[in-house]
Every structure is written in C-alpha cells, then in structure tokens.
Amino acid sequence: GPKPQNCRRMVVLGAPRVGKTAILRRFLRDGFDEQYEPTREDFHRKVYSIRGETYQIDILDAAGERDFPAKRRLSILTGDMFLLVFSVDDRGSFEEVCSLRSEISSAKAALSRSKAHVSSVPVVVCANKLDLPSEQHAVSRTEALHAFADGCAFYETSAKESKNLEEAFAALAERGGLPLETG
Ligand code: GDP
C-alpha cells in the first residue's frame, strides 16, 4: 500500500444538485449521467502510481451533511483538502460555497490556533455547469474571481462536457502536496 505521507483525505462540499457527484464520477472513472440521483454521504478512493510511487486519495462526497452541522464540522476538521462546488445557474449555491469557505477557515484556525496556517488549507472552487447557456448564468465570472481571489484556486468546469476538471483536481492535489498527472 501507499506510504502514509502519500495519502490524503479530500472532502467535496456544496449545495445539492450542483454536480458534485457528476464531477467525482469524471474523476474516478469517465462517464456522465443525466439522471439525477440524490446522494447520501459517500466515500470513494482513488489509488494511482506515478514513477513507481503509489498515492491514495480518500474522497468524501459530503452531500448530506448540510443538514448536520456537527458532522460537517468533523469532516472539515479531518479533511486535508477541499473541493467546493457551486453551479453557475444557482446563486444560492454560490453563497453556500462562500460560507463553506469561511467555515473551513475558522475550523482549521481553531484547530491550529494560528491564522497564518489558514491560507495554506488546500481549497479549490469549481463553478460548475459552465455549459449552460449564458442567459441562465446567475453568477458572473468577475464576481466569482473576486470572491475567491484570496488564496484558493477557482476553475470554471462542466462535468457534462468534461471541461477543466483534470486541471481542478491537479491543482487541488498539488496544493495538498500530491502529484497528479493530467492529459
Ligand atoms: P450533486 O447533488 O451535487 O451531487 O449533483 P449531481 O452530480 O447529482 O448533478 C445534479 C444534476 O445536475 C444532474 O441532473 C446532473 O446531470 C446535472 N449536472 C451535473 N453537472 C453538470 C454540468 O456540468 N452541466 C449540466 N448542464 N448539468 C450538470
């Protein structure tokens, strides 16, 4: 198995229906499912090798945890890196990601008792469903860039068209200290 220093816990958070499961499905194996299945909390594991070294990412799709603040907080405390997803046609989901970001910052700050550590928490934000026609967009690129300018990476993605997801995952892994080959 992989060495402990090659293992990370990734937590995926965001409002319902933004495409968390579709994004993870792309990451874990290719495929896009048009049909909506409400997800409960779900664990996945990706194990891969690069240049003879084995790496492991344990992924929590924390879909159901919005209704359970204590559970969500525990996921945040035990997570090493965070994928936050909103949908460009859903303004409420953008606001949810903004509040999740501050929740992650304060939880990690309380844990480390040092604000300096907080900006180094690996966070990537996905503005998903970019394929939707622009008249359906409820959050502008400028606004999102502004909201996430301070220290977290921001990617405009489409799970449907498999756009920008490899880049987003590679950025997150790199921030978390793991290599991830793309292409
Ligand atoms: P979750 O609740 O956040 O896990 O969302 P799902 O992954 O289950 O997706 C919710 C719905 O949005 C499903 O009907 C998906 O087919 C659809 N969906 C997910 N990603 C995209 C995308 O990038 N573009 C479009 N147009 N639809 C998407």
Cβ–Cβ < 8 Å for 167, 130:
no
Q: Is residue 3 scored above 90 in pLDDT?
A: yes
d(CA 130, CA 159): 9
Strand order in the sheet with 123-128: 42-50, 53-61, 7-13, 81-87, 123-128, 153-156
- Calculate how far, in angstroms, residue 99's C-alpha sits from the geometric centre of ligand 1: 21
d(CA 32, CA 116): 40
Residue 66, C-beta contacts closer than 8 angstroms, at least 6 positions apart: 15, 16, 72, 96
H or E element at residue 142? helix 141-147
Q: Does the predicted interface ipTM exceed a cut of 0.85?
A: yes
- Residue 100 or residue 119, greater confidence: 100
- The model's pTM: 0.91
d(CA 1, CA 4): 9
| Per-residue model confidence as pLDDT tens digits over 157-173 | 999 999 999 999 999 99
Residue with tokens 């008792």: 113
Residues within 6 Å of ligand 1 by CB: 14, 16-22, 34, 36, 39, 63, 128-129, 131-132, 158-160
Helices H / strands E in the chain, number of each: 6, 6
- Calculate how far, in angstroms, residue 68's C-alpha sits from the geometric centre of ligand 1: 22
Q: pLDDT at position 158, please? A: 97
| Per-residue model confidence as pLDDT tens digits over 38-61 | 555 578 888 888 889 999 999 998
| Per-residue model confidence as pLDDT tens digits over 50-91 | 889 999 999 998 866 667 888 888 899 999 999 999 999 999
Pocket test for ligand 1, best of 87, 90, 163 (most atoms within 8 A of CB): 87
Q: Is residue 30 scored above 80 in pLDDT?
A: no
| Per-residue model confidence as pLDDT tens digits over 106-135 | 888 877 765 545 567 999 999 999 999 999
Pocket test for ligand 1, best of 13, 18, 24 (most atoms within 8 A of CB): 18
Phi, psi angles (nearest 5°) of residue 41: -55, 135
The residue-averaged pLDDT of 138-142 equals 96
User: Cβ–Cβ contacts within 10 Å for residue 88, how many?
Assistant: 25
Q: Is residue 181 scored above 90 in pLDDT?
A: no
Structure tokens at 114: 């040092």
